[in-house]
Amino acid sequence: MTENYIYLPEIIIDSHCHARDFRQSYKTTVMQTLKEAKKGLITISALMPNTDPPIISLEVLSDYSKLIVAAENELDLPRQYVWFGVVDGNLKECEEALRLPFVVGLKIYPKKKKGQSVTTGIIGVTEEETIPEAMRLVKKYGKALAIHCDDPDIILKKGYVIEAEVEYVRKIIRYAQIVPGVKIIICHVSCVESASLILWAQREHHMKIAIELCPHYLWFDSEKTNWNPNFDPVYYKCFNNLRPARHRKYLISLLKLNNRLIIIGSDNAPHTREEKMEKGLGGLPTNHEMVAVICALAKQNKIPDGRVAQLLSYNLSDILEIPVSRKTKKYRLEKMTDDIQYNNGKVLNPWNGSELLFPVKIEG
């Protein structure tokens, strides 16, 4: 590995992408999102179900699938994937969805009893029993369960604190112990405590619980590291919250581990400028930057190309059983100050101003 070059896998997979569309097509669309993913060198995206209407029935899944197929054809992309949303009472639909090859697994968002989801979405699980039942279902089909960990009761009392994330991770590990072998992805792990707990469960109990790391927790933190000072802080608001710098540094150190259960997901989650300012919604666009951030951190931290390939493709390919080529391509790394726009500028890009290493294809 030389300073200005990197070998990246032919197929890069993003475990976590919000492509909106339907009634939220004013934020972005499947077509626009996958176009941006492709520009960011992401070949395969697994799309999240907290759309409006949410993907919790086979009818909506089928409608979404049509949008995806149209984008695949237009953009010359391979098959993309979807996470099917779990709510209390739709386990029959979950099972039918899991039989479909492009459904990569189930997604759980926690939700308060008689209330709001912990994110801006409208879907979620309130009944505890639903969690182990969803685990049994995905295990039956060899698929995975992706979980947004943030405890609604703790959030109600104390806000979006670290404890809310960690207690939910602890709960998931407890349930996973009664469904041995179940494959779980803990989405957007943001703090030392959650990551340490998951590593402990992997090590001591051989549990297949993966840590999903997202570019924004590796680059930004609650101490405003790398924030663009010209932008309102709301553009750096996301769920789970950004944490203090020591958490970010710890998460970066995980990139160096030879651990097949650490993956990268963009959690690309665009909202329009107006919504951000008026409603304070949480979520950042990150499609274009995911690979550039990992390249920048790999060079800064002397992480070998082979490890980068595991993080961006092979680990997730194994967990989700998405077959990918193990070939790599050589890229030149170009240091650039980010000025990329999302959805033609409708979505303000909080990465603007960050100096990243963008891979550029070498012709010939």
What residue ranges bind Zn ion (CB under 5 A)? 267
Residue 18 Cβ vs Zn ion, minimum distance, rounded to whole Å:
6
Pick between residue 8 and residue 144 the one whose CB is nearest to Zn ion.
Answer: 144
Residue 67 Cβ vs Zn ion, minimum distance, rounded to whole Å:
18
Residue 86 Cβ vs Zn ion, minimum distance, rounded to whole Å:
15
Residue 268 Cβ vs Zn ion, minimum distance, rounded to whole Å:
8
Pick between residue 36 and residue 267 the one whose CB is nearest to Zn ion.
Answer: 267
| Residue closest to 154 by CA, chosen among 268, 55, 241 | 241
Calculate helix-pair angle for 91-98, 58-75, nearest 10 degrees. Answer: 30
Residue 190 Cβ vs Zn ion, minimum distance, rounded to whole Å:
12
| Beta strand ranges found along 114-182 (DSSP E) | 144-147
Residue 185 · residue 315 · CB < 8 Å = no
Amino acid in position 32: Q
Amino acid in position 118: V
Spatial neighbors of 2 by CB under 8 A, at least 6 apart, are: none
Pick between residue 50 and residue 310 the one whose CB is nearest to Zn ion.
Answer: 50
The encoded tokens of residue 210 equal 């993966």
Pick between residue 285 and residue 359 the one whose CB is nearest to Zn ion.
Answer: 285
For residue 202, report the phi and psi dihedrals to the nearest 5 degrees: -65, -45
Looking at the DSSP bridge assignments, the partners of residue 264 are: 213
Residue 194 · residue 186 · CB < 8 Å = yes
Pick between residue 147 and residue 312 the one whose CB is nearest to Zn ion.
Answer: 147
Looking at the DSSP bridge assignments, the partners of residue 284 are: 268
Residue 64 CA to residue 68 CA, distance in Å, equals 6
Residue 33 Cβ vs Zn ion, minimum distance, rounded to whole Å:
13
Residue 283 CA to residue 238 CA, distance in Å, equals 4
Pick between residue 240 and residue 298 the one whose CB is nearest to Zn ion.
Answer: 240
For residue 116, report the phi and psi dihedrals to the nearest 5 degrees: -85, 155
Amino acid in position 149: C
What is the side-by-side strand order in the sheet with 144-147?
13-17, 44-47, 81-85, 103-108, 144-147, 183-186, 209-213, 262-264
Residue 333 Cβ vs Zn ion, minimum distance, rounded to whole Å:
28
For residue 331, report the phi and psi dihedrals to the nearest 5 degrees: -125, 150
Q: Name the residue whose CB lies closest to Zn ion.
A: 267
Residue 58 Cβ vs Zn ion, minimum distance, rounded to whole Å:
22
Pick between residue 6 and residue 185 the one whose CB is nearest to Zn ion.
Answer: 185
Residue 271 Cβ vs Zn ion, minimum distance, rounded to whole Å:
12
Residue 222 CA to residue 241 CA, distance in Å, equals 8
Pick between residue 50 and residue 317 the one whose CB is nearest to Zn ion.
Answer: 50
Pick between residue 267 and residue 275 the one whose CB is nearest to Zn ion.
Answer: 267
